[in-house]
Chains A and B, each alone.
Chain A
């Protein structure tokens, strides 16, 4: 199977070329991009079963000996990330089909290139290649954010582009410094390098800083809520699940391999991550529209995911990896559910929304399930994630962390209630648009219709309001699927906990990874 690892990169790129060649034939474009994502998903699941015993599949590209080649390595963590990313790409693309995003002939090719870069970043075992893969994933996202070209999008795109470019430059400089201090950028060769020399540790710190900015940790998070909410709904869901998670994955990997989870850095990590959790949740509370709340909450959740790094041990990392998978799925479900409301209403401002639960009970079900999962209520996946995190922190004796994990969950609950009360519960706020709808039906009176008397017509409107005025099922299904997936993971948590445990073992003791990558 190792020969097929580069397939994760070239298949999406090939698919992008084909969809581009398909041009205006949207249906052909859809067939190609769904096929590619489905193949990647199948491959991801295959790799997950192959590596579930802790083994590492390595492809030394072009047959160069280990240590010289630019290797692709798949262990449990990588396989897990690729699988979840493929699920997210599939559902977000399905959502984009129903919102009409993909009628833009460049949308699907861009999404494919982005996904290829993301898969590549998850499987590469070379720091410079990680930089290249992040760029491959970022460049389509620059275009996706500014594609519609409205003034607010251009403003957000400008911030997004400049911040990410700056961070990428820092990452590149960090990689250069690592090469200068250690003479290699191969992750296998770099094992433990930062614990041996101060120079390498500083260089690694520059790389971690750049990855932290990509993951939106708190001192360097402020670009996130100012950019993501302005893209189209499907794009936001896609970017939030994929791009920031490259940073999270990169921190896990680089810190585990290069720094071997250095004990002296654990307190600084804990401080940064706990502040991230609190500030992200408070920021989310202060927002007044749906997607900014969710995006600010992302920062807070990244703090949870990485918290395991602060007490580098198998339990904490297992909880963190479980949390990562849960978070990608639950958050995307929230984005898609809120996005469906926003797509229908034309606004995400909570003050101008309401009553969605009455109009679209299924959508409300998807939202409430994903929201409860995010907060950490059993039987959803969020409960298992938070419970194992609290348990790991308690075993390590980090009582401040335990307290904050629980307290910030309450803040998260408040943010979810804010969206629920504003958008799903209560009265319909859009009296004007309803009035204009009735007016529109009033301009076409069917004189022969026995129901044309005002009273009866009104009854008719309310009867027909369901199916024709209702939301297309396609807008609801992707979010509902992800919410159901979150529930499934919560109910059958043993499977994912086992995989996360194997992945965490691979991080705590990266010997297998290192020897596979270096070929020694």
Chain B
């Protein structure tokens, strides 16, 4: 239950931040969403069993499922890489999306827009 509430709060915060205009806020939104997905993955392995999953030392009935932990680890690495890229974009291409990208720019006129910006 606590995991469900945590996921709900994280998703709500993440979605709220995604709706913002600045790319830095969007990035923070994705960090929250990534955490929500990770909590979801961990809870998929069962929240009641939390002992370290070591053969021979832990009773398999109470040992945590290591597979979702591996999933979450992979997902964290991917989220981390993309977060860095998002922040780099926010720093490089302007934090805010420029007004002329809102007005359906024509792909053919990309060079002109590059000059205007």
Contact = CB atoms under 8 A, between A and B. Distances in A.
Interface of A: 128, 132, 135, 139, 142-143, 146, 149-158, 161-162, 165-166, 169, 172-173, 175-177, 179-180, 229-230, 288-289, 291-292, 342, 346-349, 352
Interface string B49-69: 000000000000000000110
Interface string B81-117: 1100110010011100110110001111111011011
A149 to B, nearest CB: 7
A120 B49 CA distance: 33
Contacts of B106: 288-289, 348-349
B89 A146 contact: yes
Contacts of B114: 150-152
A352 B108 contact: yes
Contact of B109 (A143, A157, A177, A349): A349
Given A150-B110, A349-B109, A155 B82 contact: no
Contacts of B68: 176, 179
B44 interface: yes
A12 to B, nearest CB: 18
A161 B93 CA distance: 13
A61 to B, nearest CB: 14
Pick from B43, B75, B113 the residue with the most CB of A within 10 Å: B75
Contacts of B117: 150-151
Given A139-B81, A142-B85, A172-B75, A151 B34 contact: no
Contact of B89 (A152, A154, A177): A154
A143 to B, nearest CB: 8
15 contacts: A146-B93, A154-B101, A155-B93, A172-B41, A176-B37, A176-B44, A177-B40, A179-B41, A179-B67, A179-B68, A179-B71, A180-B45, A230-B105, A289-B108, A352-B108
Contact of A180 (B33, B43, B105): B43
Given A151-B100, A180-B44, 11 more contacts: A128-B74, A139-B82, A153-B110, A154-B92, A154-B93, A161-B86, A165-B82, A166-B18, A172-B75, A348-B108, A352-B108
The secondary-structure label for the interface of chain A is helix
A158 B44 contact: no
B23 interface: yes
B78 interface: yes
A150 B111 contact: yes
B34 A135 contact: no
A349 B111 CA distance: 13
A104 B34 CA distance: 32
B26 interface: yes
Pick from A149, A173, A229, A291 the residue with the most CB of B within 10 Å: A173
Contact of A179 (B44, B100, B107): B44
Pick from B36, B101, B114 the residue with the most CB of A within 10 Å: B101
A166 B94 CA distance: 21
Contacts of A352: 108
Pick from A165, A166, A179, A180 the residue with the most CB of B within 10 Å: A165
Contact of A161 (B36, B85, B97): B85
A268 B64 CA distance: 39
A348 B107 contact: yes
Contacts of A128: 71, 74
Contacts of B100: 151-152
Contacts of B23: 158
A291 B110 CA distance: 13
B68 to A, nearest CB: 6
Contacts of B41: 172, 176, 179
A135 B78 contact: yes
B64 to A, nearest CB: 14
Nearest to A162: B26
B79 to A, nearest CB: 8
Contacts of A292: 107
Contacts of A180: 40, 43-45
Nearest to B88: A146
Contacts of B40: 173, 176-177, 180
Contacts of B107: 152, 229-230, 289, 291-292, 348
Contacts of B113: 150-152
A233 B101 CA distance: 20
Nearest to B26: A162
Contacts of A135: 78
A154 B113 CA distance: 11
B86 to A, nearest CB: 7
Contacts of A176: 37, 40-41, 44, 68, 71
Contacts of B116: 151
